[in-house]
Amino acid sequence: MIKRILTGDRPTGPLHLGHYVGSLQNRIRLQKEYDTYLLIADIQALTDNFEHPEKLEANVFEVALDYLAVGLDPEKVKIVVQSMVPELTELTIYFMNLVTVATLERNPTLKEEIKQKNFTKGLPVGFYTYPISQASDITIFKAHLVPVGEDQLPMIEQAREIVRRFNRTYDKVLIEPKALVGQVARLPGTDGGAKMGKSLGNCIYLGDSPDVVRKRVMSMYTDPTRLHPTDPGHVEGNPVFTYHDVFNPDKAEIEDLKERYRKGTVGDVEVKEKLFKALNVFLEPIRERRAHFASKPGHVREIIVEGTRKGRAVAQETMGEVRTAMKISYKLQG
Ligand code: TRP
């Protein structure tokens, strides 16, 4: 049996370099080996954007474009829109019985987000319970593997816990998924912050034009202790070098820059110019493919509709098994 991948993204904006190294790269590499489902999680995005649902529709399309742009092959992967699979919502309600409030309270990613989002009118139950909804996303497709960024590990752990509980309580229907974290666990933001994040304004987006990328790179945070190009500088923990290590294939050039940086014989500008060049080489084919698909919105829509149709068929099959296992599969006729 060919194993499945399920992973996804909230459609709250375009995808960035952090998404690429955290998860997209693994998806591209594994799409030939795994039956892959990519969920555009608009219902999850609603949990903290419920007052602005208009934000999501355009971004569903943008995220699909990003998938296609990085080389996810629509002949192989299924792009599924979460709100078009109502079975996910049904499963979430059943799963809610299997999770305690205390478990949600301990979820470190959830805790961090609640702090960051600073819900002024009180914490919505919908947001608080999104890890349960995410467990439905993963398990309804019977995924074996979930390629995600490091911050999502507590979500996979929550899904695993629910699966064990479900299979013990009812019947062995669900698969306990494994997480797969990318080559770079967490790409720092251009501001040197721990994480590149849409809401943090420290991103380089996969669709950014060369001008924008240039501006972003030239204003990147480097070594705060280094005031002049002749001061010896720090390479470790310096995001400009972290990016070089990830995106510049010319290892000899990186070594040379690092050596000169440590000695104080290279300026930030040269290091950044070379990073910009490397990033541009990396982003150019992505931009081209993005432009190609963006010029055919009807085709992209078809890809989404077809992916969602296939995804929903899997979800319906799983829900049949779930209802039987839970003894709520009544036959009202005959
Ligand atoms: N929570 C993920 C994020 O913020 C998006 C997501 C929704 C997801 N459903 C998923 C990721 C299922 C992996 C599996 O990026």
Atom 3 of ligand 1, nearest CA residue:
9
Does residue 196 lie within any of the structural domains? no
Does residue 230 lie within any of the structural domains? yes
Q: Tell me, yes or no, whether 59 and 130 share the same domain.
A: yes
Which of 42, 137, 157 most suits a substitution to test ligand 1, by most atoms within 8 Å of the C-beta? Answer: 137
Does residue 131 lie within any of the structural domains? yes
Does residue 202 lie within any of the structural domains? no
Q: Tell me, yes or no, whether 160 and 247 share the same domain.
A: no
Q: Tell me, yes or no, whether 172 and 216 share the same domain.
A: no
Q: Tell me, yes or no, whether 25 and 139 share the same domain.
A: yes
How many C-beta atoms lie closer than 10 Å to residue 219's C-beta? 10
Our answer on whether the CB atom of 10 is closer than 6 Å to any ligand 1 atom is yes
Domain that holds residue 282: 207-290
Q: Tell me, yes or no, whether 54 and 92 share the same domain.
A: yes
Q: What pTM did the predictor assign?
A: 0.95
Q: Tell me, yes or no, whether 227 and 131 share the same domain.
A: no
Does residue 200 lie within any of the structural domains? no
**Short-list 123, 84, 141, CA closest to 319:** 141
Q: Tell me, yes or no, whether 137 and 67 share the same domain.
A: yes
Does residue 322 lie within any of the structural domains? yes
- Spell out the per-residue pLDDT of the chain, length 334, in tens: 899 999 999 999 999 999 999 999 999 999 999 999 999 999 999 999 999 999 999 999 999 999 999 999 999 999 999 999 999 999 999 999 999 999 999 999 999 999 999 899 999 999 999 999 999 999 999 999 999 999 999 999 999 999 999 999 999 999 999 999 998 878 999 999 988 988 888 999 999 999 999 999 999 999 989 989 899 999 999 999 999 999 999 999 999 999 999 999 999 999 999 999 999 999 999 999 999 999 999 999 999 999 999 999 999 999 999 999 999 988 877 6
Does residue 193 lie within any of the structural domains? no
Owner of token pair 């995005």: 45
Q: Tell me, yes or no, whether 282 and 305 share the same domain.
A: no
Q: Could you tell me the two tokens for 243?
A: 């990016």
Does residue 21 lie within any of the structural domains? yes
Q: Tell me, yes or no, whether 80 and 225 share the same domain.
A: no
Rounded-to-integer distance, Cα 254 and Cα 233, Å: 15
What CATH number corresponds to the domain at position 285? 1.10.240.10
Total domains in the fold of the chain: 2
What length is written for the chain?
Answer: 334
**Short-list 166, 135, 158, 168, CA closest to 41:** 135
Which of 148, 162, 186, 199 most suits a substitution to test ligand 1, by most atoms within 8 Å of the C-beta? Answer: 148
Q: Which residues contact 316 (CB under 8 A, 6 or more apart)?
A: 87
DSSP 205: B
Q: Tell me, yes or no, whether 136 and 104 share the same domain.
A: yes
CA of 159 to the centre of ligand 1 (A): 12
Q: Tell me, yes or no, whether 114 and 59 share the same domain.
A: yes
Degrees (nearest 5) of the Cα angle 289, 292, 295? 145
Our answer on whether the CB atom of 26 is closer than 6 Å to any ligand 1 atom is no
**Inter-CA distances, 217 with 60, 198, 214, Å:** 28, 17, 5
pLDDT of residue 334: 63
What CATH number corresponds to the domain at position 74? 3.40.50.620
**Inter-CA distances, 72 with 30, 75, 217, 286, Å:** 10, 9, 27, 11
Q: Tell me, yes or no, whether 131 and 276 share the same domain.
A: no
* Helices and strands in the chain, H and E counts: 15, 5
